[in-house]
Amino acid sequence: MTVEQQIIEKIKEFDTIIIHRHQRPDPDAFGSQCGLATILRASFPQKQIYQVGKDEPGLAWIGQEQEIADSVYADALVIVTDTANRPRVDDDRYLTGKFLIKIDHHPNDDPYGDLMLVRPEASSCSELIVDLVNAAAGTLVLNQEAAAKLYAGIVGDTGRFMYAGTTAHTMEVTAQLMHTGIAAAAINRKLDEISKPEARLAAYVLQNMQFTAHDAAYIVLTKDVLAELDLGDAGTSSAVPLLGKIAQIICWTVFVEQRDGSYRLRIRSKRPHINELAKEYGGGGHPLASGAMISDATQIPEFVAKLDQIAAKDTGDTE
C-alpha cells in the first residue's frame, strides 16, 4: 500500500479531521491546507473538517481559518501541510490529536507525525494534494472550489512556473486543475497584485539594494523603513523576487527587522544551493529558497560575506 493510500484509509477512519499549515503562510500553505479541507468536505459531507491557524488578511481570498475548542482534538486526525519542521506549525494543538500526518515538499530534516508524505521533488504541497486525489481512485472529490485554491498554491510556489521545481508533472497537474473551469487568469492577476505600500517598497528596494563583489545582492528593511512605508513583515514578501530579476545576480537575501530587533532572512538563489547556509542560522528550506533568523544587525556582514562566497563558487571566482 502506498503512502497516499495509507493516508486515504486514515481519512476514511476518522470522523473529525483538523488541518494545520505553517506560520506566516504563503499561497501554497493556504492553498494546500484549504484545498485539502474543501476536498474532504465535498468527499465526506458527514465528517467534521476544520482548517486552523492565524488568519492572514492578504490571503483571505484563498480561504478563511476556523476557531475550534481544544476538546475537538481528542479523537481527531490531524494533518499538517507544507510545514518542514515542528516549530513552524501554526497552533501547537496539532500534537494533541489522536493521529498525525505530515504532507510536505521540503527536505525532510525534521521527520514528525505517525505517517508522512514528503516529496521534496514536488513543486509545491498543493501539487501533492492533487496527487493524493489521483491516488484515491474516485474516493476524493476535486471540485472547482478546491481546484482554485490548489492552483493558487502551485502558481505561488513555482513563481509563476519560473522556479526550477516546476516539472512536466507540475504542468500536468495544473492542467487538471484548469479543466475544472477555474478562473485561472483572475487567480494569476490576484497573485500578481500589490498594494500601494508594496509598490513603494519595491521602489525602495530597487533604489537601496546592495551588491557584493561576486554578484550576490541584499537589502536591509529596518523597522523604521517598514513603518514609514506602512508595512509589516508579511507585506515584504512581494519584494523578495525583485532582486532576482537583475540578470547578473546569482543569489540574494532580504533582511526584515522584527519587533524585538532580530531579523528574518528570506534567502533565494538561481543556481547554487543556499539551504545549508540557512541552517547555519537556525533556518532551512528548499535548496534555492530558504529562510533563517539572526539575533541583530551585527550579524548581517558575516552572513553577507558567506552569501558572497556561495556566489563566488558558482562563478568559479574564489580569489
Asked whether the whole model's pTM tops 0.75, one would answer yes
Separation in Å, CA 291 to CA 253, 277, 306:
9, 9, 15
- Classify 260 as helix, strand or coil: coil
Phi, psi torsion values for 303, nearest 5 degrees: -65, -45
End-to-end CA distance of the chain: 53
H/E stretch holding 200: helix 196-208
DSSP code for 139 = S
CB within 8 Å of 275: residues ≥ 6 apart: 107, 284, 285, 286, 287, 290
- For the chain, 319 residues long, give each residue's pLDDT as a single digit of tens: 899 999 999 999 999 999 999 998 999 999 999 999 999 999 999 999 999 999 888 899 999 999 999 999 999 999 999 999 999 999 999 999 999 999 999 999 899 999 999 999 999 999 999 999 999 999 999 999 999 999 999 999 999 998 888 999 999 999 999 999 999 999 999 999 988 999 999 999 999 999 999 999 999 999 999 999 988 766 788 899 999 999 999 999 999 999 999 999 999 999 999 999 999 999 888 899 999 999 999 999 999 999 999 999 987 665 5
CB within 8 Å of 203: residues ≥ 6 apart: none
Pairing of strands 16-20, 77-81: parallel
d(Cα 27, Cα 194) in Å, to the nearest integer? 14
Cell reading at 249: 545576480
Residues 28, 154: contact at Cβ < 8 Å?
A: yes
Query: What is the number of other CB atoms lying within 10 angstroms of the CB of residue 9?
Result: 12
Phi, psi torsion values for 90, nearest 5 degrees: -80, 120
d(Cα 177, Cα 268) in Å, to the nearest integer? 28
Which residue has 508594496 as its cell numbers? 198
